[in-house]
Amino acid sequence: MSVNKVILVGRLGKDPELRYTTSGTPVANFTLATSERFKDRNGEQQERTEWHNIVVWRNLAEICGKYLKKGKQIYAEGKIQTRSYDDRDGNKRYITEIVLDQMQMLGRAGEDDNQRSYEPPLPDEPPQSGGGSYNGSSEPPFNPDDDIPF
């Protein structure tokens, strides 16, 4: 058995870029910054920021495109995925991304929106690099306690 699970809490480095594949499947991309504070060997407080490339598919992509903005803090769950591509000079390049399957908006009261979480239904098959079809529900589950049903 193996597990590929990532949990991050961080802030968006840019507004999500929402696009659609040729088959019409929504996909959003953005960067997420996570930071850790530590003391160096001289006892000085230091901060290290790690940047993560985030990919979101289907309904969750549209939600991210609509509600997330640069600087917004989120809780994100997904998996690590590495893919390769050839650059303009023909060199093979690799990129590591976090493919989200859950996201929750965080923040203090009065900061943007209230907290909302969303977990999309699981697809029949994972998305392929070129998109693909999705046979799941087009609407997320409705929670009557939410003031805004997405």
pTM of the model: 0.68
Average pLDDT of 22-32? 96
Predicted local confidence at residue 112, as pLDDT: 52
Structure tokens at 132: 């693909």
Do residues 120 and 58 touch, judged by C-beta distance below 8 A? yes
Give φ, ψ of 59 to 5 degrees. Answer: -60, -40
| Degrees, nearest 5: CA angle 139-142-148 | 100
> For residue 108, what pLDDT band results from cuts at 50, 70 and 90?
low
Tell me the per-residue pLDDT of 61-95, one tens digit each, with 9 for 90 and over: 999 999 999 999 999 999 999 999 999 999 999 99
Tell me the three state secondary structure of residue 108: coil
Q: Percentage of residues in the chain with pLDDT exceeding 70?
A: 71
Given pLDDT bands bounded at 50, 70 and 90, which one contains residue 28?
very high
Model confidence over 41-66: pLDDT tens digits? 999 999 999 999 999 999 999 999 99
Supply the pLDDT for residue 107. 79
> From residue 112, how far is each of 32, 40, 63, 122 by CA, in Å?
18, 35, 15, 29
Alpha-carbon distance of 84 to 102, in angstroms, equals: 25
d(CA 31, CA 70): 9
For 121-135, the pLDDT digits (tens) are 444 443 433 333 333
